[in-house]
Amino acid sequence: MLSDREKKRYSRHLLLGDIGEAGQLKLSQSKVLIVGLGGLGSPVALYLAAAGIGKLLIADGDSLDITNLQRQILFDTDGAGEPKADLAEERLSGLNPEIDLEVIDHALTEEDLREYVPEVDLVLDCSDNLGTRKAVNRVCVAERIPLLSAAAIRWEGHLMLFDYRRPETPCYECLYPPDAAEPVLNCSTSGVVGPLLGILGSMQALEAIKLLLGMTSDINGKLMMFDGKHHQWQSFRIQKKPSCPVCNLS
């Protein structure tokens, strides 16, 4: 049962037929791991905390730099130099004291991921490097935990859902094979327009809420590409590769 305080806080969810009190209870019993508290992790963490996801594990090993503030809306100027994980904890617990937060203040290793991923219902990859993305993918495939992955650079963003509870789902390495090198382009060398990360992060949060409610998603196994300059979404089905060493061994 939701408390009267929760009923008031989540009243706009309770009005929705697809959520209601039963759905809100499902959200309050859900656990989610957010990998990275940058431009994507900021809106993801804010929306999922506000939505009343029962437990958020938030991981980031960086300290806040003034260059982050152009897009990382979780933070304020006053926090410059402080660990982002601690700043996020303060902000999110102020936003919604009804939820539990577990703070991981270092970059996640594959060993860490093997510890944390089995504890959660869903992983949101909001990281900024290929090594972490692949490690997150490997552990999610092995543990059959759904993965929502996003990325953005310049004016273009990507969104992918891999629901590894379903065996036909392709994986991140079907798209980016093991020998794929780290892309030369990244946000610190090529730039990114701030609201693009807000759009992609908000889409991650939206799909996360749907998945945790048990609603079907139209984007499982698809690469959704958003062109912010020309306002176009395109979607491509990702083929499950029979030769993929990650998803064909599990």
Which stretches of the chain bind Zn ion, using CB under 5 A?
171, 173-174, 244, 246-247
Nearer to Zn ion, 177 or 191 (CB): 177
**241: which DSSP letter?**
P
Nearer to Zn ion, 166 or 229 (CB): 166
Please pick, among 171, 187, 244, 247, the residue that the annotation labels catalytic: 187
The encoded tokens of residue 61 equal 């090993």
Nearer to Zn ion, 5 or 237 (CB): 237
Minimum CB–partner distance for residue 21 and Zn ion (Å): 39
Using a 10 angstrom Cβ sphere, with 0-12 exposed, 13-18 middle and 19 or more buried, the burial of residue 74 is buried
Minimum CB–partner distance for residue 141 and Zn ion (Å): 7
Nearer to Zn ion, 78 or 168 (CB): 168
187 is catalytic: yes
C-alpha span between 12 and 223 (Å, rounded): 31
**14: which DSSP letter?**
H
Question: Residue 196 carries which side chain, given as an amino acid letter?
Answer: L
* Cβ–Cβ under 8 Å, residues 228 and 40: no
Nearer to Zn ion, 148 or 174 (CB): 174
Phi-psi category of residue 191: left, alpha or beta, with phi > 0 → left and psi -120 to 50 → alpha: left
* Cβ–Cβ under 8 Å, residues 141 and 117: no
Minimum CB–partner distance for residue 173 and Zn ion (Å): 5
> Quick count: other Cβ atoms within 10 Å of Cβ 118?
12
Minimum CB–partner distance for residue 170 and Zn ion (Å): 6
Minimum CB–partner distance for residue 226 and Zn ion (Å): 23
- 53-64: b or e for each residue (b if 16 or more CB lie within 10 Å)? bbbbbbbbebbb
* Cβ–Cβ under 8 Å, residues 142 and 59: no
For helices 41-50 and 194-213, the axis angle rounded to 10 degrees is 40
* Cβ–Cβ under 8 Å, residues 226 and 156: yes
Catalytic positions, written as ranges: 187
